[in-house]
Structure 1
Amino acid sequence: MPDYSNLSILIVDPNQGMRASLHNMLSMLYITKVDDAVSAGTAIRQLSKKSYDVILCEYDLGNGSGDSGQDGQQLLEDLRNNKVIAQWTIFIMLTSEGVYGRVIGAAELLPTDYILKPFTVETLSQRFGRALERRAVFLPVYQQIGQGKVKEAVAACAAAEIAQPRYAADFARLRAELLQSMGQIAAAELAYASVLQTKQIGWAQLGQARCMHLLKRHTEAQAALEALIASNPKFMAAYDLLSKVHRAQGHDEAAKHVLQDAIAISPHMVGRLRNLGEVALATGDVEGAEKAYKQVVAKAKYSEFRDPEDHLNLVRTLVTKGDANGAAGVVRDMERSLRAGPNVEVCRAFSSALVQEMNGNAEGAVAELTTALAALSEARVSNNLKLGLAQSLMSNQMDEQANTLFSALTADATSGITDAQVVALCEKAGRTDLADRYGKKVDSEVDQMVRKAAEKSRSGDLKGAVAVMQEALRRRPDNTGLWTVAVTAMLRQITDMGWDGPLAAQAAGLLKRIREDNPNHPLLAGLIAQYQAARQKYNVAPPATAAPPQPAHVESR
């Protein structure tokens, strides 16, 4: 029998008899470093202080008192999403055959393995051996990732695909995911496509669709995801991505139906319920949003990572519904059940402001909004919350504070909040004066960026010029006048400084947009010629996933 004596184990099971039985089995394998946790909460607290090689977790973590808390799948969701456990931690779910049949098809975050009860010590030993063998193969790459050596990890994955044929597909998947995390979306898409040339694997189809979505090829992504779901109706991550693709196209109603279908199959994922609440509210389905957010608050009650924004979202929904008493009750529950801190204070004050505003107490609303702003600098809350807060500031005539928050959000490239969204919000609120003032401010800033890029280009700082134009495009993505200026800067950098795949892909995308907007644009043919000349200069073949730019007359046939 293999030597497992150095393994450290955490048993997560509310049943004392089952814990004792596991201790006996582990002692037969000479494993003595064993700790117990009787619930998800106690497991998270122990894992926050100490790491373990293996977690043996009962799926049903109910304590028999009717207060079931989280199940094992929800615990794994918390551990993975909040990075409590390392990538190499072995997580084995223990479950009955009946429960396994219910959860395996719709499992969201797969554990390392499942063991069906009852089982023997020999079964436990075999599963340990299999999991440890796989961990040993992947551990060097995981360690490189942990050290921030992502490029080295990508290279190691590519080498391991050849050296470890048994795990070649797993290494290909990890390589593609790392490329995506580095922002090399086109390269990641090619990696997934390479896998799909040999076999239609669900995760590769999903990864390729995600790349299409990130590259704003939403129609292709939608078709790919619909085909994936048709062939595998329980591939839950495909539903989540499809809902995002629908929302990116402005199809909120379709996104809502996709999420509802997913929740009918797998009803316990808190993140999906949050998304459903958000999209339901966006479509005006207040009842659906209330139902979803109430489930989120109830399910998150047992999590060590409770998010006060869940309460805030429920308050927003109840206010929209006109239920002032219900909204005030949620605020009281937030004050009573959540630990004090900046995040909670922002959400509590914002929630209270919404209730005060609904009750016609403008002075009280302004006071609570001021409190929320004071706590915001120390809080770590979502950008959507900040956007909603800015909207409330605007509706309460706190224009200066709203503008400051709007500017901070749009200046942050990672926020996902665009100037167009801000202008649309102002117009929707009937504040066309604010929308006009904000739009003129952005246009002035973009004009300054174009002049700055020209100066950098003249001085020979070609990369600097491109970076400034990329920021200008982010601020005004639909400004057609920026497209040709940006492409010109990108192609000059590529021609003079060497081929840059991601930059070339961005240039090709802009050329496509110019051609679709105006196929007779006077600069289009010259820019396409420059693009093709750069490819020939560096002997770069066109990408397999998209046709190279063509002159307008070719497209008109």
Structure 2
Amino acid sequence: MQENANLTVLVIDPNPVMRASLHNMLTLASISKIDFAVSSGTAIKQLAKRSYDIILCEYDLGSGLDDGQDGQQLLEDLRHHKLIGLLTIFIMITSEGVYSKVVSAAELTPTDYILKPFTVDALAGRIARALERRSVFLPAFQLIGQDNAREAIASCVRGEASHPRYAPEFVRLRAELHASLNEQAEAEVLYGAVLAAKPAGWARLGLARTLAAQQRFDEAEALLAALVADHPKLMAAYDLRSRCLEMTGAPKLAQSALEDAVAISPHMVRRLRKLGEVALEAGDLAVAEKSFRQVVAKARYSEFRDPEDHVNLIKALIRKGDAAQAGAIIRDLEKSLRGNPNTEACKAFSKAMLAEATGNADAVHEELHAAVRAGAGLSGKLKLALARSCLASQLDTRASEVVLSVINDAGSGVTVQQATSVFVKAGRPDLADSVKLQLKAQAQQRLEVALEKTGAGDFKGAVQTLLEARHLSPGNLPVMIAAAGAILRQIDAMGWAPKLAEHCAGMLDTIRKLDSAHPELARLNNAYTAAKRKYGMSA
């Protein structure tokens, strides 16, 4: 087993006897580079510093602790926060009695499971099988890591032909890659072909996702209703069904779908948070309060604590009219999350909501000003809520400041239209127009900066600046023309960049729709075709 000598392994298990046993087994399997973690928290800290080839994780991580997190939830946290990638082998260790529950409810599956008790040979066999699978998928995984989804799809086609044993997994990966490129029709065809041969739960869920991405929410919801009836522990189906119901204007049914999921899998913090949000929207304050309380309690033991969870709980309590409890949660927020960079902003916003509920207008203004000053790191969703509160208190300048900060944060996930709709819904279209004019001016400034960077030979800098300009002014034709041209110059000078090429192709399509006779369009199309030919991408 000489090939095992260079493998790095992280063992996650709270039981010292089991850790020692696994150490012995791994040593006998010629694996010596072994680290240990005794809880989900210590595992997350270690994985934030370095990566491992293999993670062996005990399913039952509680061992008397109060966090309630198990190995499956840890896996989902690690994937959600991108602490492990596709190349990491994650093997879950569980008992036979728990396995049937785990495997049916798993939302993100491990590479493999191993049932206790097991021998050295059994463990070595699982590792060998996982390494074989990784080698088969390695070309596709490497291309995905390089943001080259298009070539990864081609690699999957080749892998499917070369390794028929893994054909279903390659088809699944291909469909997910098409979806990541917003090629939902292609993904839909692949899922449909799988389902024509076998009613696989993952393919039904994937098909529902593609339908939802195409805003065919009624079709997706009907498919998901049947799916959860046939597979009542396929948790991701409940989450997607809830979103579809929410999008079709049925908040009560959306809440019910999430409640069903929480009843089966009660520890997933992100689902509890979403249940609280949906219940708050539906006016079910009791469920909203209960959900947010659970989120705050469970997150207390997480490495990913977020003071915005306290804000959600405080909002539910204020709407219930429980000012005393809301005040207590504000004090807990200040005490338990001291040192978090967003705590001051969350505390100020919470105090503003409480002051508004108690009729203290002066305090509302003071705290809103404080929240805006300290709120640079807040999520886009909470910033928009802060902007709405500023508007309600006639703090128009502060509201505009917050909306502009959301739009200028490309990572917020909030579009210009979504952000400015805050003003429109508040009956202030004048403020929306004012913000759009400021954004147009900012985009023009970036155009000028990009021109200087291009003249200095900084092609990458010019592209980044122009993509920022496009985010600020998405329908701005001169910005798109300049951005597409800058991308093509960078590709010509520095080599093919798959993600940028996809950006460029999308912009050319948009330009064609806005002005098919634009004098620059033919030149850009020719340059794009020439770049594809130059780097062997024409096929």
The TM-score with structure 2 as length reference comes to 0.78
1:69-99 CA distance string (max 9 Å, x none): 5221221121111011121111111122222
Aligned with 2:4: secondary structure? coil
1:243-284 CA distance string (max 9 Å, x none): 111111111111001111111111121111111000000010
Aligned amino acid, residue 130 of structure 1: R
Q: Is the 8 A contact 1:410 1:418 kept in 2?
A: no
Map 1:405-420; keep pairs closer than 5 Å.
Answer: 405-406=402-403, 409=406, 414-415=413-414, 418=418
Corresponding residue for residue 389 of structure 2:
392
Corresponding residue for residue 125 of structure 2:
126
Q: Is the 8 A contact 1:144 1:152 kept in 2?
A: yes
Q: Does 1:319 align with 2:318?
A: yes
* Structure 1 residue 352, shift from structure 2 partner: 2.1
Aligned amino acid, residue 289 of structure 1: A
Evaluate the alpha carbon distance shift between residue 141 and residue 323 of structure 1 in structure 2; reply closer, same or farther with a 3 A threshold: same
* RMSD across aligned positions (CA): 3.2
Aligned with 1:105: secondary structure? helix
Aligned amino acid, residue 382 of structure 1: S
Corresponding residue for residue 231 of structure 2:
232
Evaluate the alpha carbon distance shift between residue 466 and residue 16 of structure 1 in structure 2; reply closer, same or farther with a 3 A threshold: closer
Aligned amino acid, residue 365 of structure 1: V
Q: Is the 8 A contact 1:466 1:490 kept in 2?
A: no
Aligned with 1:131: secondary structure? helix
Corresponding residue for residue 430 of structure 2:
437
Aligned with 2:34: secondary structure? strand
Distance in 2 (CA, whole Å) between partners of 1:187 and 1:339 is: 49
Q: Does 1:270 align with 2:269?
A: yes
Corresponding residue for residue 47 of structure 1:
47
Distance in 1 (CA, whole Å) between partners of 2:112 and 2:474 is: 48
Aligned amino acid, residue 61 of structure 2: L
Map 1:275-294; keep pairs closer than 5 Å.
Answer: 275-294=274-293
Distance in 2 (CA, whole Å) between partners of 1:363 and 1:196 is: 62
Distance in 2 (CA, whole Å) between partners of 1:410 and 1:278 is: 23
Q: Does 1:259 align with 2:258?
A: yes
Corresponding residue for residue 459 of structure 2:
none
Aligned amino acid, residue 18 of structure 1: M
Aligned with 1:93: secondary structure? strand
Map 1:149-188; keep pairs closer than 5 Å.
Answer: 149-188=148-187
Structure 1, unaligned stretches of length 5 or more?
427-431, 447-463, 472-485, 501-557
Corresponding residue for residue 5 of structure 1:
5
* Structure 1 residue 212, shift from structure 2 partner: 1.4
Evaluate the alpha carbon distance shift between residue 52 and residue 281 of structure 1 in structure 2; reply closer, same or farther with a 3 A threshold: same
Distance in 1 (CA, whole Å) between partners of 2:149 and 2:342 is: 32
* Structure 1 residue 137, shift from structure 2 partner: 1.0
Corresponding residue for residue 24 of structure 1:
24
Distance in 1 (CA, whole Å) between partners of 2:347 and 2:156 is: 46
Distance in 1 (CA, whole Å) between partners of 2:245 and 2:317 is: 26
* Structure 1 residue 407, shift from structure 2 partner: 5.6
Distance in 1 (CA, whole Å) between partners of 2:37 and 2:474 is: 54
Q: Does 1:220 align with 2:213?
A: no
Q: Does 1:61 align with 2:61?
A: yes
Q: Is the 8 A contact 1:61 1:68 kept in 2?
A: no
* Structure 1 residue 20, shift from structure 2 partner: 0.9
Evaluate the alpha carbon distance shift between residue 491 and residue 229 of structure 1 in structure 2; reply closer, same or farther with a 3 A threshold: farther
Aligned amino acid, residue 41 of structure 2: G
Distance in 2 (CA, whole Å) between partners of 1:497 and 1:266 is: 55
Distance in 2 (CA, whole Å) between partners of 1:392 and 1:180 is: 37
Aligned amino acid, residue 56 of structure 1: L
Distance in 2 (CA, whole Å) between partners of 1:238 and 1:68 is: 25
Evaluate the alpha carbon distance shift between residue 376 and residue 24 of structure 1 in structure 2; reply closer, same or farther with a 3 A threshold: same
* Structure 1 residue 286, shift from structure 2 partner: 0.4
Corresponding residue for residue 100 of structure 1:
99
1:417-460 CA distance string (max 9 Å, x none): 6378525641xxxxx4x3x53577699999xxxxxxxxxxxxxx
Distance in 1 (CA, whole Å) between partners of 2:59 and 2:357 is: 43
Map 1:530-541; keep pairs closer than 5 Å.
Answer: none
Aligned with 1:304: secondary structure? coil
* Structure 1 residue 46, shift from structure 2 partner: 1.1
1:134-179 CA distance string (max 9 Å, x none): 1111122211211222222122112222222111111121122122
* Structure 1 residue 198, shift from structure 2 partner: 2.8
Q: Is the 8 A contact 1:419 1:442 kept in 2?
A: no
Distance in 1 (CA, whole Å) between partners of 2:436 and 2:387 is: 21
Distance in 2 (CA, whole Å) between partners of 1:444 and 1:9 is: 55
1:304-336 CA distance string (max 9 Å, x none): 111111111111111111111211222222222
Q: Is the 8 A contact 1:315 1:331 kept in 2?
A: yes
1:83-139 CA distance string (max 9 Å, x none): 111211111111222222332221222111221211111110111111111111112
Corresponding residue for residue 35 of structure 1:
35
Distance in 2 (CA, whole Å) between partners of 1:68 and 1:383 is: 28
Distance in 2 (CA, whole Å) between partners of 1:227 and 1:493 is: 48
* Structure 1 residue 288, shift from structure 2 partner: 0.3
Number of corresponding residues: 460
Distance in 2 (CA, whole Å) between partners of 1:121 and 1:218 is: 49
Evaluate the alpha carbon distance shift between residue 136 and residue 487 of structure 1 in structure 2; reply closer, same or farther with a 3 A threshold: closer
Distance in 2 (CA, whole Å) between partners of 1:98 and 1:421 is: 52
Corresponding residue for residue 401 of structure 1:
398
Map 1:285-434; keep pairs closer than 5 Å.
Answer: 285-377=284-376, 379=377, 381-406=378-403, 409=406, 414-415=413-414, 418=418, 421-422=421-422, 425-426=425-426, 432=427, 434=428
Distance in 2 (CA, whole Å) between partners of 1:2 and 1:196 is: 42
Distance in 1 (CA, whole Å) between partners of 2:474 and 2:51 is: 45
* Structure 1 residue 492, shift from structure 2 partner: 4.4
Evaluate the alpha carbon distance shift between residue 331 and residue 444 of structure 1 in structure 2; reply closer, same or farther with a 3 A threshold: closer
Aligned with 2:83: secondary structure? coil
Aligned with 1:197: secondary structure? helix
Evaluate the alpha carbon distance shift between residue 318 and residue 4 of structure 1 in structure 2; reply closer, same or farther with a 3 A threshold: same
* Structure 1 residue 403, shift from structure 2 partner: 3.4
* Structure 1 residue 362, shift from structure 2 partner: 2.1
The TM-score with structure 1 as length reference comes to 0.75
Evaluate the alpha carbon distance shift between residue 254 and residue 321 of structure 1 in structure 2; reply closer, same or farther with a 3 A threshold: same
Distance in 2 (CA, whole Å) between partners of 1:407 and 1:6 is: 50
Aligned with 1:225: secondary structure? helix
Distance in 2 (CA, whole Å) between partners of 1:267 and 1:115 is: 24
Evaluate the alpha carbon distance shift between residue 94 and residue 329 of structure 1 in structure 2; reply closer, same or farther with a 3 A threshold: same
Map 1:476-495; keep pairs closer than 5 Å.
Answer: 489=513, 492=516
Structure 2, unaligned stretches of length 5 or more?
440-469, 480-509, 526-539
Aligned amino acid, residue 144 of structure 2: I
Q: Is the 8 A contact 2:372 2:402 kept in 1?
A: no
Distance in 1 (CA, whole Å) between partners of 2:239 and 2:90 is: 24
Distance in 1 (CA, whole Å) between partners of 2:339 and 2:474 is: 45
* Structure 1 residue 375, shift from structure 2 partner: 2.1
Distance in 2 (CA, whole Å) between partners of 1:361 and 1:423 is: 24
* Structure 1 residue 357, shift from structure 2 partner: 2.3
* Structure 1 residue 297, shift from structure 2 partner: 1.1
